[in-house]
């Protein structure tokens, strides 16, 4: 199974991925965690270019191709081979980030975004996606509390992040079976329980299909 985690910054993705990875290991699944942009040597180099504040003048067309180039490499070098070996692959962000940030956020037409996805990921679409939904103000509060300095994209303002959140919610309307919205403001243990419950439901429905 290929499972992705989405959300605006400081939505708690890393905490939840760690908890879920531990759960899967305890239940004898083979599991690997990757992150986007990144996850291969080449993709990590692209990540540095994408997030560096020195590249403040990067145009949105360059940005979407770089995110997608990083993803194309990760899919073919790591994700597909690991899925074929029977691993559960957990990814911290994937193509929905591009749809929400570059599509709805930066206003690149979704038709164009979908064409780029088709080239970058081909048929490697997640089986399940968790969107940890928090308000922009909560994201700012958590980042201040943890003294996190924003990268190039995180430095964008409230309006941008509201469009990004709207973009995510639109994905849920298009693909409710795959894309699960979870209230990211709940306690981490509560969120973890929901993630496990949704996963087990998915697993059972896949077993029934076999
Ligand atoms: P991270 O902070 O979750 O590691 O993600 C890096 C930043 O890149 C984050 O602000 C979201 C942004 N991003 C996009 O704009 N488009 C994408 O396709 C991806 C994967 C991330």
Q: Which of 93, 102, 106 to mutate to test the pocket of ligand 1 (most atoms within 8 A of CB)?
A: 93
The pLDDT > 90 percentage for the chain reads 89
Mean pLDDT, rounded, for 35-50: 97
Count CA atoms within 13 Å of residue 74 on its CB side: 29
Tens digits of per-residue pLDDT, 76-89? 999 999 999 999 99
**Which 3-state string (H, E, C) describes the chain?**
CEEEEECCCCCCHHHHHHHHHHHHHHCCCCEEEEECCCCCHHHHHHHHHHHCHHHCCCCHHHHHHHHHHHHHHHHHHHHHHHHHCCCEEEEECCHHHHHHHHHHHCCCCHHHHHHHHHHHHCCCCCCEEEEEECCHHHHHHHHHHCCCCCCCCCCCCHHHHHHHHHHHHHHHHHCCCCEEEEECCCCHHHHHHHHHHHHHHHHHHHHHHC
Tens digits of per-residue pLDDT, 100-123? 999 999 999 999 999 999 999 989
For residue 125, pLDDT beyond 90: yes
Tell me, what's the pLDDT at 112? 98
Confidence of residue 154 (pLDDT cuts 50, 70, 90): confident
Distance 6 CA to ligand 1 centre (A): 9
Structural tokens at position 170: 């639109």
> CA 150, 151, 152, 156: dihedral to nearest 10 degrees?
-30
C-beta neighbour count of 173 within 10 angstroms: 8
Distance 191 CA to ligand 1 centre (A): 22
Mean pLDDT across the chain: 95
Tell me, what's the pLDDT at 146? 87
Distance 11 CA to ligand 1 centre (A): 12
For residue 47, pLDDT beyond 80: yes
Tell me, what's the pLDDT at 148? 80
Name the pTM for this structure. Answer: 0.96
Tell me, what's the pLDDT at 3? 98
The set of protein residues with a Cβ atom below 6 angstroms from ligand 1 is 9, 36-37, 51, 67, 93, 97-98, 101-102, 153-154
Length, in residues, of the chain? 210
The protein residue with its alpha carbon nearest to ligand 1, atom 18, reads: 98
Structural tokens at position 131: 């969107």
Atom of ligand 1 nearest to the CA of 67: 18
Nearest to 122 by CA among 176, 189, 68, 203: 68
Confidence of residue 193 (pLDDT cuts 50, 70, 90): very high
Atom of ligand 1 nearest to the CA of 95: 18
How many Å apart are CA 19 and CA 86, to the nearest integer? Answer: 20
Distance 97 CA to ligand 1 centre (A): 7
Structural tokens at position 2: 């290929």
Where do the domains of the chain lie, and which CATH numbers do they carry? 2-209 (3.40.50.300)
C-beta neighbour count of 159 within 10 angstroms: 10
The protein residue with its alpha carbon nearest to ligand 1, atom 13, reads: 97
Cis geometry, peptide bond prior to residue 132 (ω within 30 degrees of 0)? no
């Amino acid at each position: 199974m290929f499972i992705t985690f989405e959300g605006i910054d400081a939505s708690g993705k890393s905490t939840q991925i760690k908890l879920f990875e531990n759960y899967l290991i305890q239940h004898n699944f083979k599991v690997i965690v990757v992150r986007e942009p990144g996850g291969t040597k080449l993709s990590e180099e692209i990540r540095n270019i994408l997030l560096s504040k020195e590249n403040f003048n990067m145009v949105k067309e360059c940005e979407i191709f770089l995110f997608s180039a990083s993803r194309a490499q990760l899919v073919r070098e790591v994700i597909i081979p690991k899925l074929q070996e029977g691993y559960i692959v957990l990814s911290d962000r994937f193509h929905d980030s591009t749809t929400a940030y570059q599509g709805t956020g930066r206003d690149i037409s979704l038709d164009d975004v979908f064409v780029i996805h088709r080239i970058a990921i081909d048929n490697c679409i997640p089986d399940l996606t968790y969107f940890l939904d928090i308000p922009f103000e909560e994201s700012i509060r958590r980042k201040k509390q943890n003294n996190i300095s924003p990268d190039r994209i995180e430095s964008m303002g409230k309006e941008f992040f509201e469009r990004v959140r709207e973009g995510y919610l639109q994905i849920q309307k298009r693909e409710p079976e795959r894309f699960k919205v979870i209230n990211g403001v709940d306690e981490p243990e509560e969120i973890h329980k929901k993630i496990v419950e949704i996963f087990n439901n998915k697993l059972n429905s896949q077993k029934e299909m076999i």
